[in-house]
Structure 1
Amino acid sequence: MTTEHQPSEGEARALAALEASGLRFRITRHGPVRSLEEAAAARRLPPERIIKTIVVRRGDDDFLFVLVPGGRTISWPKLRALLEVSRLSMPDAAVAREVTGYERGTITPFGSLRAWPVVADARVAGHPVSIGAGAHGVAATVDGSQLTLALGATVADVTEAEGGAGDA
């Protein structure tokens, strides 16, 4: 007996937005993962090609998405300089869900309740990457350069190696 996958509301929204974007993508569904390395193995990509979508607050009702490659974290000084602001913060999980429609761990620019601006780290472009698709264990593999174009992203060096180990 085969059971057809019934997508969650978030996954359905993300998939509809991906389809509407015109991007070529491949969906990967896998069970729970506990680390970047497990996610990379499940998606058959190197860890640095797994893209985290981080919600950042610029001001009252003013948010943006930052696309961060695996093994990296936002460099707050670089991001503040790019955006020409003196303060940025990360909203708590409840606010992030309220402004995107996605819970943490499932956030993606695709199908967000509002089309917030996107900043993509410069390392996203130039090769296949995997970005969340609105549900735990669901991701879309896309061309990173096409991804940044489809999202109208500002592409800039806005990350640093996790643990402050500098660039590899």
Structure 2
Amino acid sequence: MARAATPAIKALLAAEIPHEVLRYHHDPQNESFGEEAVAELAGVDGVDPEQVFKTLVVALPKAGLAVAVLPVPFQLSLKAAAAALGVAKATMADRAAAERSSGYVIGGISPFGQRKQLPTVVDSSALRWDRVLCSAGKRGWDVALHPQDLIALTGAVIADIRTS
């Protein structure tokens, strides 16, 4: 097996999950990472903005960190994410804690290949698509795969966690 470019791609290869790596130009001055991915990938192979998912790290009081994966155009409902993960409350994780835990930088956090697999919730809208896109573990890199493979590899629960 060839050397994988990121831990996320390595995890997908090791699990033999069919996927496609999509690269796009990342402007180092841009900190709207999800919006940049949507702008760069929308229209490519019929990609709809709601197929492009962001990976957010949340803090669960007394339970540590968890991951929420949802479409870029939507905001995360912390209340819904907490309920899906079986806790009373969730807050956004501190940037440094998210990077330290995942092994990735903000804007490149992938749900795959994290240093420690965290409890994960994927927005139920993922099931609408034949494929979804999420970070491949590096800014400017996304991976396209079947949503069931995303769910299976991360051990995710499915819930409505988005809000407009």
Residue matched to 1:125 = 127
**Unmatched tracts of structure 2, length 5 or more:** none
Identity %: 26
Q: Are 1:159 and 2:162 counterparts? A: yes
Q: What CA deviation, in whole Å up to 9, does each residue of 1:15-35 have, x standing for no partner?
A: 111111221100011111653
| Residues 53, 76 of structure 1: alpha-carbon distance in 2 compared, 3 angstrom cutoff | same
Q: Are 1:41 and 2:35 counterparts? A: no
Q: Are 1:21 and 2:37 counterparts? A: no
Secondary structure of 1:125's match?
A: helix
- Taking the aligned partners of 1:61 and 1:155, their CA distance within structure 2 comes to 19
Is the contact made by 1:43 and 1:130 (CA closer than 8 Å) also made in structure 2? no
Partner amino acid, structure 1, of 2:109: I
Q: Are 1:150 and 2:144 counterparts? A: no
Q: Are 1:30 and 2:24 counterparts? A: yes
Secondary structure of 2:14's match?
A: helix
Counterpart mapping for 1:1-168 below 5 A: 11-32=5-26, 35-36=35-36, 37-41=38-42, 43-44=44-45, 45-59=47-61, 62-127=64-129, 128-161=131-164
Secondary structure of 2:132's match?
A: strand
Residue matched to 1:3 = none
Q: CA RMSD in A?
A: 2.1
Secondary structure of 2:91's match?
A: coil
| Residues 58, 23 of structure 1: alpha-carbon distance in 2 compared, 3 angstrom cutoff | same
| Residues 82, 14 of structure 1: alpha-carbon distance in 2 compared, 3 angstrom cutoff | closer
TM-score (norm 1): 0.81
Partner amino acid, structure 2, of 1:74: L
**Unmatched tracts of structure 1, length 5 or more:** 1-5, 162-168
- Taking the aligned partners of 1:39 and 1:62, their CA distance within structure 2 comes to 34
Cα offset for 1:59? 2.8
